[in-house]
Every structure is written in structure tokens, then in C-alpha cells.
């Protein structure tokens, strides 16, 4: 029998594995774990052996195709041109209504294509959670033992601790200097509106080593050097997984279908996605880290909640441009992740804190501007002045989605995901745009008609189908992420989040998974001792 079984391989599953490993607990992993195609991986390895200035032009063109973007934003980000993060296994089919969302069964999940932002939740943002800030603080620190972070000591640290004593940061580009300088000059105006700012914190290795950032400007397309943290690439750092994930402890190529909790164990049924064969595992404890849709789907099927709509929280995002009055010299783009964070606490906008990420020019925005202009206006003057503000809504202000298992068979799930609109979403977004427009007027113009709000489900900052401390007799969980009535099954991904704050989510996913894994082990050991 397996002592601890983890399902999934992205942020939550990886963080749970790190916590179990740190505690000396045995565990195994199940996941579909689709990966980068071998021929693409070989090309990437070739780039990693050389500095960006010496990259082969044909290989670079092949690995970094033009982004799928329009005036509504990025349609789908790829990793080195591959769409493997979105590949769907045969046992899973999905329909969407009034929403836009994607699903990942990849090794590392959406950690292959995330934006790398790493701001924690502050105490006020988890006030409705049955979890203390002190518990989360310990886990944030644990995460930074293995995940890199680029960060600076600034005013953000007064509310959002760094959780590291000696932070290092990426070098500042001219874009970053110009933007932060503008914020600094408008500090008083921003403060009057409840806004603070600072350098964006991102999960990037800033060292000069082989896996450090080389400023190639391909951050949103794939990092050949592995400088951006990717849980899929990080599994080999866990003792026992050094040879990668093709091992007896990592059961790769299996779609976990359902579980059944027994008195002394949990039985898990999974489908081999290559052969269709059914396999069963027995574990004393099960950790669900499939992502909020996968975890919701698996619990609902296991509890026979077929045909029921399960509400899931979402944090829609919106974005708008800001055009500075002064044009800067166009430099080679060396870095395309967020340049700065803007945090707003203003009851006139919302009772909840608002988070914004600010980006400078990158290939995605170049494509968007070209789509918008249709060749009718010269773009060079815009490129010199262009910034994008991307804001996320708190789940209370955002639309949401309902997840339903429409039907299930012995080896198949048919899922329907339906969007729910929230009229407050566009109101909050417009108020945030107005705050930026009024506060930054001496620096540049945020056009009032340039705001785009994405549909529910698009942001990937979602969860809450089985909220910790919830009141529903079925769709809730306890502080250890155990769905109502279960003792040996723990949710470690955001399906258990009671709320989804506006701030970045992946850092808190990993911290909560670390907390749940450690606390569940402690509870089990205490029970054995008693």
C-alpha cells in the first residue's frame, strides 16, 4: 500500500510533494503528464547551450512563432510553439457555455505557460479562511526554499512580506525605470486613492549561473535556460525523482478517474491514456492537486454528484493601455514579464483589495497593436509610449463558472462549464481604470474606451468549489482540505479556497498545498501516537 498518493503535477501537487519529502514521508504520484515533443525539446536544449546572441535564426523562428493575440488579448500562449499544455486525453471531454477556459493535463500543468507573478495574499485577504496568517507565512517561506523569486525591498513589503531575507532582482530596463519613476513622482496622488506600488515580483532565477536569466526577451514564449520556475521541470529536484518523472514513483500517462474512501485506505481508479487499461492504487492518504476543474470533477464523480452544477469562483481580468507623453528610445526587448505591481485598497471602488500588473512593450502587444491599427496609422510612436495595465478582480466582484459532470461512463467524463456574469465586474474595472487615468495624468493617457474585460473562466485564477470552512453539506471542506464526510482525501489546489483574492494566485496555491500536506501528516502521526 502507498502511504501518500498525489494526483497531479502542477503547482499544488509539486508543493505537496516538496512538503512530504521535507517531512521524510513516502509518496507516489499519478498524472497524465503530457510533455514537450522530443524534437522541440532537442532544439530547446541546443539554444540552452549558447547565449542568445548566437542562437540559430531558423531554430529561433521555429520555437518562437508569432503569438495568437488580438485586441481582446492573448488567445492561447504556447511553450516553444507547442500546444501540449492544452492537450486533452480521450477519457475527458468538455463543453463551455458563456465562458472561455482552457484545461491542462500537462506535466507541470499551466506552470508551463504562466506569467510567473509571485505576490502573496496578505492577512486581510484570507480573513474568511479557517487558516491563520502565521501558518501561511511559514509555508510561503518553505516555497521560497525551492522556487526562485526576483524582488526588491520597497513599499509593497509593508503589506506583502518578501518571505526571504536576502532578495535579488532582475536588472531594471529603461521601461521599468521610466514606469517606477512615474509612480514615484505620483506617490502622493496614488496614496490618496489607496494605491501603493513596487517592482513586480516574479519567479525568475536572477543568478549568473546556467539557469539564470539571460535577458533574451522570450519570457512569455518559453525560457530555454529554465530561469522561470516551471513545476514540470522541477520534479527532478525532489529526492527519489532525480532521474526525472519516468520512475516507479511517478505513474505517468494515467487519467485519475475516481476514488473510494475505505476505513483504512483510499482506492483510486485511473485509465492508462495510451492503452485504455484500468488500474487501481491503494493509499493511506490521497492528495488532490489536479487543478480546480480536475479536482472538482474527480470528487463529484467519486461522490456520485452527476448532473449537479457546482459553482466555482473566478477572478476575471481586464486590461487597458497607457500611452506616456514622452517617447523613450526603443531598445531590444530583453524581458517581457510584469514590470510593476499596483495594489489598491479603496472602498469607493470595492471592499476588496485590487491588484494590477503593468507591462511594457512585448511581442504580444506589438501583435495586438497591429491588429487594432490594420496598417492605417504608424505604430513606431505608439511603441515608444506603450504600457499595459492588467487588473484582476476579487472573486466577489467577478463572474464565476458552474462545473457539471453531464454524464460519466466506466472510463469517460463529459463536463460542461457554464459562465455566470456579474454586473459588478465591469463597474469595478472601470473604476480602477479611472483611478489610473486620474493618478497618472501628468505621465500619460489611459484612453477611457480602451478597456477589455475577459469572460469568466479565462483568467485561470479560479477555485472554491469545495471551500474550506464552507457551510454546504457536500460542497465544502475543512481546514485540511478534506471534502465533507471524508477523512483521508485532501484537496491541495484552489478548489478548496474560500475566496479568490485579486492578487496573484500561484504562490498561494503552493503555500496552501505545503500547509495542508504538513498539517495532514502531523494529524496522522498524532492519531497514531494516541
User: In the chain, what are the helix, strand and coil shares in percent, each to the nearest 5?
Assistant: 30, 25, 45
Planar angle of CA 195, 196, 199, nearest 5 degrees: 140
Please indicate, yes or no, whether residues 192 and 333 belong to a single structural domain of this protein.
yes
User: What is the C-alpha separation between 409 and 301, in angstroms, rounded?
Assistant: 10
User: What is the C-alpha separation between 400 and 421, in angstroms, rounded?
Assistant: 7
Please indicate, yes or no, whether residues 267 and 291 belong to a single structural domain of this protein.
yes
User: What is the C-alpha separation between 484 and 474, in angstroms, rounded?
Assistant: 6
Residue 69's Cβ-count burial label (10 Å; 0-12, 13-18, 19+) is buried
Do strands 400-409 and 310-314 pair parallel, antiparallel, or not at all (unpaired)? antiparallel
Instruction: Among 455, 472, 497, identify where a domain stops.
Output: 455
**Domain tally, the chain:** 2
SS3 letters for 173-187? CHHHHHHHHHHHHCH
Would 416 be classed as within a structural domain?
no
Would 302 be classed as within a structural domain?
yes
Would 257 be classed as within a structural domain?
yes
Please indicate, yes or no, whether residues 1 and 55 belong to a single structural domain of this protein.
no
Please indicate, yes or no, whether residues 296 and 238 belong to a single structural domain of this protein.
yes
Please indicate, yes or no, whether residues 323 and 432 belong to a single structural domain of this protein.
yes
User: What is the C-alpha separation between 279 and 252, in angstroms, rounded?
Assistant: 12
Question: What is the phi/psi pair of residue 386, to 5°?
Answer: -95, 130
Q: With beta carbons less than 8 A apart as the criterion, state whether 267 and 260 touch.
A: yes
Task: Name which of 171, 219, 198 is nearest 358 in CA terms.
Answer: 198
488 DSSP 8-state letter: S
Q: Is the dihedral of CA 365, 371, 373, 375 positive or negative?
A: positive
Q: Is the dihedral of CA 511, 514, 312, 338 positive or negative?
A: positive
**Predicted local distance difference test score (pLDDT) of residue 329:** 67
Q: With beta carbons less than 8 A apart as the criterion, state whether 467 and 497 touch.
A: yes
Please indicate, yes or no, whether residues 481 and 510 belong to a single structural domain of this protein.
yes
Would 413 be classed as within a structural domain?
no
Sequence-ordered alpha helix ranges (H) in 57-131: 57-63
Instruction: Among 455, 478, 498, identify where a domain stops.
Output: 455
Q: With beta carbons less than 8 A apart as the criterion, state whether 318 and 351 touch.
A: no
Strands, sheet with 412-420, edge to edge from the N-terminal-most edge strand: 92-97, 412-420, 400-409, 310-314, 462-463
Would 409 be classed as within a structural domain?
no
User: What is the C-alpha separation between 455 and 252, in angstroms, rounded?
Assistant: 33
Length of the chain: 530
Please indicate, yes or no, whether residues 210 and 328 belong to a single structural domain of this protein.
yes
In the numeric block, which cell numbers belong to residue 12? 499544488
**Predicted local distance difference test score (pLDDT) of residue 330:** 63
Would 440 be classed as within a structural domain?
yes
**Predicted local distance difference test score (pLDDT) of residue 209:** 85
Planar angle of CA 507, 511, 512, nearest 5 degrees: 120
Q: Is the dihedral of CA 464, 469, 472, 473 positive or negative?
A: positive
**Cα 511 → chain centroid:** 13
**Predicted local distance difference test score (pLDDT) of residue 407:** 81
Please indicate, yes or no, whether residues 386 and 510 belong to a single structural domain of this protein.
no
pLDDT per residue as tens, the chain (530 positions): 999 999 999 999 999 999 999 999 999 999 999 999 999 999 999 999 999 999 999 999 999 987 665 555 567 889 999 999 999 999 999 999 999 999 999 999 999 999 999 999 999 999 999 999 999 999 999 999 999 999 999 999 999 999 998 899 999 988 889 999 999 999 999 999 999 999 999 999 999 888 999 999 999 899 999 999 999 999 999 987 765 565 789 999 999 999 999 999 999 999 999 999 999 999 999 999 999 999 999 999 999 999 999 999 999 999 998 988 877 666 678 889 999 999 999 999 999 999 999 998 777 766 666 666 555 455 566 677 889 999 999 999 999 999 999 887 888 899 999 999 999 999 999 999 999 999 999 999 888 778 999 999 998 999 999 999 999 999 999 999 999 889 999 999 999 999 999 999 999 999 999 999 999 999 888 877 76
Give the CA dihedral 131, 137, 138, 143, nearest 10 degrees. 110
**Predicted local distance difference test score (pLDDT) of residue 126:** 96
Would 500 be classed as within a structural domain?
yes
Please indicate, yes or no, whether residues 343 and 470 belong to a single structural domain of this protein.
no
**Predicted local distance difference test score (pLDDT) of residue 362:** 73
CATH code at 129? 3.50.50.60
**Predicted local distance difference test score (pLDDT) of residue 151:** 97
Q: With beta carbons less than 8 A apart as the criterion, state whether 507 and 119 touch.
A: yes
Please indicate, yes or no, whether residues 321 and 444 belong to a single structural domain of this protein.
yes
Q: Categorise residue 254: left if φ over 0, alpha if ψ from -120 to 50, beta otherwise.
A: beta
Q: With beta carbons less than 8 A apart as the criterion, state whether 186 and 205 touch.
A: no
Please indicate, yes or no, whether residues 242 and 289 belong to a single structural domain of this protein.
yes
**Predicted local distance difference test score (pLDDT) of residue 373:** 58
The residue segments making up the domain with residue 160 are: 45-81+150-228+317-392+422-455
Question: What is the phi/psi pair of residue 256, to 5°?
Answer: -70, 120
**Predicted local distance difference test score (pLDDT) of residue 511:** 98
Instruction: Among 413, 437, 455, identify where a domain stops.
Output: 455
Task: Identify each DSSP E strand in 325-371 by its residue range.
Answer: 340-344, 354-359
Q: How many CB atoms lie within 10 A of CB 275?
A: 9
Please indicate, yes or no, whether residues 169 and 286 belong to a single structural domain of this protein.
no
User: What is the C-alpha separation between 42 and 330, in angstroms, rounded?
Assistant: 33
What 3-state DSSP class applies to 437?
helix
Task: Identify each DSSP E strand in 151-203 by its residue range.
Answer: 195-199
Would 401 be classed as within a structural domain?
no
pTM surpassing 0.85?
Answer: yes
Amino acid at each position: 500500500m502507498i502511504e501518500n498518493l498525489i494526483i497531479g503535477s502542477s503547482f499544488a501537487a509539486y508543493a505537496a510533494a516538496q512538503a512530504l519529502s521535507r517531512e521524510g514521508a513516502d509518496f507516489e504520484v499519478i498524472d497524465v503528464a503530457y510533455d514537450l515533443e522530443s524534437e522541440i525539446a532537442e532544439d530547446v536544449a541546443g539554444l540552452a547551450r549558447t547565449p542568445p546572441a548566437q542562437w540559430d535564426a531558423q531554430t529561433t523562428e521555429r520555437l518562437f512563432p508569432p503569438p495568437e493575440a488580438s485586441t481582446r488579448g492573448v488567445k492561447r500562449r504556447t511553450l516553444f510553439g507547442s500546444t501540449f499544455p492544452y492537450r486533452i486525453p480521450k477519457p475527458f471531454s468538455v463543453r463551455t457555455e458563456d465562458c472561455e477556459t482552457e484545461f491542462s493535463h500537462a506535466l507541470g500543468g499551466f506552470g508551463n505557460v504562466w506569467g510567473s507573478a509571485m505576490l502573496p495574499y496578505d492577512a486581510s485577504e484570507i480573513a474568511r479562511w479557517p487558516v491563520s496568517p502565521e501558518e501561511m507565512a511559514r509555508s510561503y517561506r518553505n516555497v521560497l526554499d525551492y522556487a526562485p523569486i526576483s524582488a526588491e525591498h520597497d513599499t509593497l513589503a509593508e503589506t506583502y512580506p518578501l518571505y526571504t531575507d536576502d532578495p535579488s532582482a532582475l536588472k531594471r530596463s529603461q521601461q521599468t525605470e521610466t514606469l517606477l519613476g512615474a509612480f514615484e513622482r505620483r506617490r502622493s496622488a496614488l496614496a490618496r486613492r489607496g494605491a501603493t506600488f513596487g517592482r513586480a515580483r516574479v519567479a525568475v532565477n536572477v543568478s549568473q549561473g546556467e539557469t539564470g536569466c539571460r535577458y533574451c526577451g522570450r519570457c512569455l514564449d518559453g525560457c530555454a535556460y529554465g530561469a522561470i520556475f516551471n513545476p514540470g521541470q522541477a520534479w527532478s529536484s525532489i529526492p527519489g525523482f532525480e532521474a526525472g518523472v519516468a520512475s516507479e514513483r511517478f505513474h505517468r500517462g494515467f487519467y485519475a478517474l475516481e476514488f473510494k474512501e475505505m476505513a483504512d485506505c483510499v482506492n483510486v481508479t485511473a485509465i492508462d491514456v495510451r492503452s485504455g487499461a484500468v488500474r487501481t492504487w491503494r493509499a493511506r492518504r490521497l492528495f488532490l492537486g489536479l487543478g480546480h476543474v480536475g479536482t472538482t470533477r474527480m470528487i463529484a464523480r467519486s461522490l456520485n454528484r452527476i448532473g449537479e452544477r457546482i459553482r466555482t469562483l473566478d477572478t476575471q481580468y481586464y486590461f487597458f493601455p497607457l500611452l506616456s507623453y514622452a517617447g523613450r528610445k526603443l531598445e531590444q526587448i530583453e524581458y517581457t514579464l510584469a514590470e510593476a505591481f499596483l495594489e489598491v485598497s479603496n472602498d469607493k471602488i470595492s471592499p476588496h483589495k485590487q491588484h494590477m500588473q503593468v507591462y511594457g512593450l512585448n511581442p504580444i502587444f506589438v501583435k495586438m497593436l497591429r491588429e487594432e491599427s490594420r496598417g492605417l496609422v504608424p505604430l513606431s510612436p505608439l511603441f515608444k509610449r506603450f504600457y499595459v495595465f492588467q487588473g484582476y478582480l476579487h472573486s466577489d466582484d467577478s463572474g464565476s463558472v458552474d462545473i457539471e459532470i453531464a454524464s460519466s461512463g466506466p472510463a469517460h467524463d463529459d463536463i460542461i462549464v457554464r459562465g455566470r456574469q456579474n454586473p459588478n465586474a465591469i463597474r469595478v474595472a472601470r473604476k480602477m481604470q479611472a483611478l489610473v487615468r486620474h493618478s497618472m495624468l501628468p505621465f500619460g493617457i489611459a484612453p477611457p474606451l480602451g478597456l477589455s474585460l475577459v469572460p469568466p473562466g479565462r483568467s485561470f485564477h479560479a477555485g472554491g468549489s469545495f471551500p474550506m470552512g464552507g457551510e454546504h453539506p457536500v460542497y465544502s471542506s475543512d481546514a485540511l482540505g478534506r471534502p465533507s464526510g471524508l477523512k483521508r482525501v485532501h484537496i491541495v489546489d484552489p478548489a478548496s479556497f474560500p475566496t479568490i483574492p485579486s492578487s496573484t494566485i500561484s504562490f498561494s496555491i503552493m503555500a496552501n498545498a505545503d500547509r495542508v500536506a504538513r498539517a495532514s501528516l502531523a494529524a496522522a502521526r498524532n492519531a497514531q501516537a494516541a
